[in-house]
Amino acid sequence: MFTVEGNALVFSRRGETVRICAQGQDALRVCATPFPVMDQTDWALEGAPVLPARITVGEAGASVANGRIRCDVSPLGQLRFFKDGAPVLCEYYRMYEYDMPHTPSLRLLAREFVPARGGDYRLTARFEACEGEKLFGMGQYQQSCLDLKGCLLELAQRNSQASVPFVLSSRGYGFFWNDPAVGHVHFAKNVTEWVGESVKKLDYWVTVGDTPKQLLQNYTALVGRAPEFPENALGLWQCKLRYRTQDEVLSVAREYHRRGIPLDVIVIDFFHWTRQGDWRFDEKYWPDPAAMVKELKSYGTRCMVSVWPTVDKKSENFAEMNERGLLIRPEHGCQCFDFLGDSYIYDATSPEARRYIWEKCRQNYYGSGIDMFWLDEAEPEYTVYDFANYRYHSGTALQTANIYPVCHAKAFYEGQKAAGQKDICNLIRCAWAGSQKYGAVLWSGDIQGNFETLRDQFAAGLNVGLAGIPWWTTDIGGFFVDVTAPGHKELLLRWFEWATFCPVLRMHGDKGPSTIPPLDERDWGGGFCHTGLPNEIWSYGEEVGAVLEKYVRLRLSMKPYLKQLMREASENGSPLMRTMFYEFPEDEACWACEDQYMFGSRYLVAPVLYAGMTARSVYFPAGEWKNIFTGETVCGPLRAEVPAPQDVIPVFEKL
């Protein structure tokens, strides 16, 4: 039953073949398939070498060990994982053949392959649930739960949802589901269950460590880490829906310059182009992009443009891309996306399609000096998220859709790198495992402007960092916003104060009510689409503007520290926004802190997440902590009520 093949333990039973090998520090990878030959696709673990492992085979089963982790395999194929000899993770197995303390008559296998229409399999992988266990990571979901125990999460990409299936456990292990298939995971009280709707094999990876930092370091060493973040993007990013003309962009940049407020990046949003898929400026409203970029650079401001993956059937590039097979193919129907056009979506999983879109953007944007790209709609967004209806170069959407945002980021990163650019930093609306190595700043999508949504973003930002994505941002104040609504200014202040202590400080949003008429009557091009109200920091009155400017200058004063944090992300995978237990894993109270965090190792940040709140409770771990605004100090461990007037976010420096 058990054999050793190279550095791997392999066993077969009842039509299933399982392979366990060592990959990474204190880590093991498990693959299983009902097919005669194991699929060799490595997905996010591509390039990770197989290491020598300690493999033992005996009458009572077999074991594979790598450093501090060991996997024991029972005679009937159940897997149990140990850290330094102590159990941390066990497959859920309920079969009458095996002597165990649970009901055997259920006849439930830990690895269940059910034939799916089309010849492949629907996979369910089950693991024992452990009382008191806390789980974190998994990417970005629109919910306020920081601890994911008890949560049901879709393994699929949507606008504002980024599924990155690495989970970090309070029991001292990290688990990565290395499969881009659409599915779900349920971290239930009685069982953990991973499901892939259409797969060729099971593929997961487990690592162990004493601290969350060790686990994240082990994981990112294999799937990749962010490059060095450019210093000239650490300050304020200015955006709105949407700057419609070259003159509008320059007038905003000139006003920032006149006011003496440094502006690192200004963003040109969608429909600056002619049609979706043309990937070029509408010359009527953008007559000289090169001159615009030159003036912006004179103010110390970089220019970013929005690039959608959608290709309108009327686009100048549609016929060629369709003929060459560079588009995602619907199995039924004749489009993928119907917002402001009848569009298909380019297939980022195709190397040829990636080269095609970069070449268009190189000619039409990069050649004018624009070196930052906003990769919107990068899930990609469909009019209907019917994943069974789309086929990619990499396979069916059900099997491979979650890999799309990684491939899309790769298209631009590799193109810019080949062009000689060093300071690559692009904005993207979705991510999967490994996206971070392609210079991508994930933002949390088109979200509502209210305090409930703010609380969702707080949890999302911390969990996506624990999933290996350190560069992250939100639309300050929310995307869908009525600026005349009661309480909006309070929301904007609280959101901006918190964003000052996020990886990227970025103004954006569709600020309504939308009362600005279009520039012309064409149903295409840069003038027909609507725009939102002004969204610059002076747009909300002198009192609010003064507070926002104060925090911009605070952010700028922190640039040396921000550079240090970004360097740590590149070197060991640490996020900038860190859950309290990331820095204080021995403090049990920190594992229960769900409304405050550490910004790096130095600053404790306790944002105000509820309307009308002017004071809040803060937990201080052991040590001395100084209020950065008042200079007052407190000594932990201690929980205390601290003042939080509308213009102040409670932040404390660890002394």
Q: Which residues are catalytic?
A: 376, 379, 446
Fill in the DSSP letter of residue 176.
Answer: E
Q: DSSP 3-state assignment of 165?
A: strand
Question: Do 178 and 43 form a contact (C-beta atoms < 8 A)?
Answer: yes
Determine the Cα–Cα distance for residues 25 and 524; give it in Å rounded to an integer.
Answer: 54
- Rounded to whole angstroms, the Cα distance separating 146 from 138 reads 10
**Which helix or strand (DSSP H or E) is residue 627 part of?**
strand 615-627
CA distances from 483 to 158, 255, 296, 305, 486 (A): 26, 22, 28, 25, 8
Q: CB–CB of 606/596 below 8 Å? A: yes
Strand-pairing partners, residue 196, are 123, 183
d(C-alpha 108, C-alpha 112), whole Å = 8
Whether the Cβ atoms of residue 172 and residue 184 lie closer than 8 Å to each other: no
3-state class of 365 per DSSP? coil
**Contact criterion met (CB below 8 Å) for 368 and 290:** yes
Query: What's the CA gap between 547 and 554, in Å, rounded?
Result: 11
Residues ≥6 apart with Cβ < 8 Å to 214:
none
Residues facing residue 373 across a β-bridge: 305
Q: How far apart are CA 275 and CA 280, in angstroms?
A: 9
CA–CA distance, 257 with 639 (Å, rounded to integer): 43
Closest to 180 in 3D by CA, of 361, 512, 404, 467: 404
Contact in structure between 98 and 80 (CB atoms under 8 Å): no
Beta strand extents in 132-286 (DSSP E only): 135-140, 152-155, 162-169, 173-177, 183-187, 191-199, 202-208, 236-238, 265-268
For the record, the structure tokens of 370 come out as: 């624009």
Q: Which of 229, 213, 308 is nearest to 268 (CA)?
A: 308
| 208 contacts: CB under 8 Å, gap ≥ 6 | 26, 27, 68, 69, 81, 83, 84, 88, 172, 173, 174, 215
CA-wise closest residue to 157 among 130, 187, 180, 133: 180
First to last CA, the chain: 59
User: What are phi and psi for residue 638, nearest 5 degrees?
Assistant: -165, 140
566, 572 in Cβ contact below 8 A? no
Round to whole Å and give the CA distance between 572 and 241.
36
> Which residues does 324 contact at the CB level (< 8 Å), separation at least 6?
352, 356
CA pair distance 625, 604, nearest whole angstrom: 9
d(CA 187, CA 208): 19
List phi, psi (to 5°) of 32.
-150, 150
Query: Which residues contact residue 322 at a Cβ distance below 8 angstroms, ignoring those fewer than 6 apart?
Result: 344
Beta strand spans in 275-333 (E): 302-307, 310-312, 329-330
Strand duo 173-177 + 162-169: pairing: antiparallel
Q: How far apart are CA 552 and CA 505, in angstroms?
A: 8
